[in-house]
Amino acid sequence: MAGEGDLKLLGLLVSPFVVRVRMALSMKGVSYEYIEQDVFNKSELLIRYNPVHQKVPVLIHHGKPICESLAIVEYVDEVWGGGVAPSILPADPYERAIARFWAAYIDDKLFPAWMGVLKAATEEEKAEKVSQTLAVLVHLEEAFAKCSDGKAFFGGDTIGYLDLALGCNLFWFKTLRKMFNVELIEEGRTPLLASWAQRFSEAAAVKDLVPNVDKAVEHAKKMRRVFVH
Ligand SMILES: N[C@@H](CCC(=O)N[C@@H](CS)C(=O)NCC(=O)O)C(=O)O
């Protein structure tokens, strides 16, 4: 691992946004100090380094904070580019713009939809959020067909920006299946994503960073106690 001296990550083990950043750092072989945060009781450190949103992840490089997971992944790709590790963002400007478009779509549409399943107060609300999630995934199935161009990942032969953007959500899909018996990525509905998800979960660079589903269930129950009335 590259020794990066002064590199810290403020995180939460079950946050998909934090997992995304840890996967990017792992792809680049960068070592860092990980500092777990309690998002229900925010630390002075988190508030100081992310005063605007007060959210994790925050990467602190030589004392300077970088917030927002997608911005952090881009930073990691630029700062630790040029080595043997593959680039995370596409080299081509058009493909890069498209990858950013779909990554924003994942965070703006997919995340709130599946989070809505978790926070639903009624069966009706849950069903509505499940169908919103499925509709978003159908668009992402089409995005996969175009971006991967017949290859294994959104990024081509290796994991790239969109693989991280979407792949960090997969353990939460397993968590929702365990808690509510809902199947979000299914062979019958989104076959390309189903086989991509299998490949992504087995990829050496990321597989050890996938949080334990039981930990996510525990966190989800805590969230439901706080948010669902
Ligand atoms: N858009 C942000 C989202 C980060 C985010 O929502 N983090 C959650 C944990 S999953 C958090 O810190 N929540 C605390 C809060 O909302 O106060 C990113 O990509 O980094």
CA separation for the pair 163, 26 (Å, rounded):
14
**What is the residue-averaged pLDDT of the chain?**
95
Give the number of domains in the chain: 2
Q: Which residues pair with 36 in a beta bridge?
A: 11
pLDDT of residue 122: 96
Whole-prediction pTM: 0.96
Distance (Å) from CA 56 to ligand 1 centroid: 5
Length reported for the chain:
229
Do 31 and 102 belong together in one domain? Answer: no
- Residue 117 identity (one-letter amino acid): V
Distance (Å) from CA 55 to ligand 1 centroid: 4
* 101 and 52 Cβ atoms separated by less than 8 Å: no
| Percentage of residues of the chain with pLDDT beyond 70 | 98
Distance (Å) from CA 159 to ligand 1 centroid: 23
CA separation for the pair 209, 207 (Å, rounded):
5
Which atom of ligand 1 is least distant from the CA of 55? Answer: 12
CATH number at residue 64: 3.40.30.10
Residue ranges around ligand 1 (CB below 6 Å): 12, 15, 17, 39, 54-57, 68-70, 107
Do 74 and 101 belong together in one domain? Answer: no
* Short-list 151, 66, 213, CA closest to 77: 66
The CA distances from residue 117 to 69, 70, 137, 139, 180, in Å, are 22, 23, 14, 19, 9
**Does 4 score more than 80 pLDDT?**
no
CATH number at residue 187: 1.20.1050.10
Do 198 and 98 belong together in one domain? Answer: yes
* 126 and 63 Cβ atoms separated by less than 8 Å: no
28-42 pLDDT, tens digit per residue, is 999 999 999 999 999
Distance (Å) from CA 54 to ligand 1 centroid: 8
pLDDT of residue 5: 64
Over residues 118-137, the mean pLDDT reads 97
Distance (Å) from CA 53 to ligand 1 centroid: 8
DSSP for 4-27 reads: -SSEEEEE-TT-HHHHHHHHHHHH
pLDDT of residue 39: 94
Residue nearest to ligand 1 atom 16, measured at CA: 55
Do 142 and 215 belong together in one domain? Answer: yes
Residue nearest to ligand 1 atom 13, measured at CA: 55
Residue nearest to ligand 1 atom 9, measured at CA: 15
β-strands 33-36, 7-11 pairing: parallel
Residue nearest to ligand 1 atom 10, measured at CA: 15
Domain boundary among 79, 107, 123: 79
Asked, for residue 84, whether it belongs to a domain, the answer is no
CA separation for the pair 23, 17 (Å, rounded):
10
Element (H, E) at 59: strand 58-61
- 13, 14, 17: which to mutate for ligand 1, most atoms within 8 A of CB? 17
Do 116 and 222 belong together in one domain? Answer: yes
Asked, for residue 216, whether it belongs to a domain, the answer is yes
Coil, helix or strand at residue 51: coil
Cis peptide before 57 (omega within 30 of 0): yes
Nearest-10 crossing angle of helices 123-148, 93-105: 170
Distance (Å) from CA 57 to ligand 1 centroid: 7
Edge-to-edge strand list for the sheet holding 64-67: 33-36, 7-11, 58-61, 64-67
Tokens 């978790």 sit on residue? 118
147-202 pLDDT, tens digit per residue, is 999 999 999 999 999 999 999 999 999 999 999 999 999 999 999 999 999 999 99
Q: Which two three-digit tokens encode residue 45?
A: 């450190």
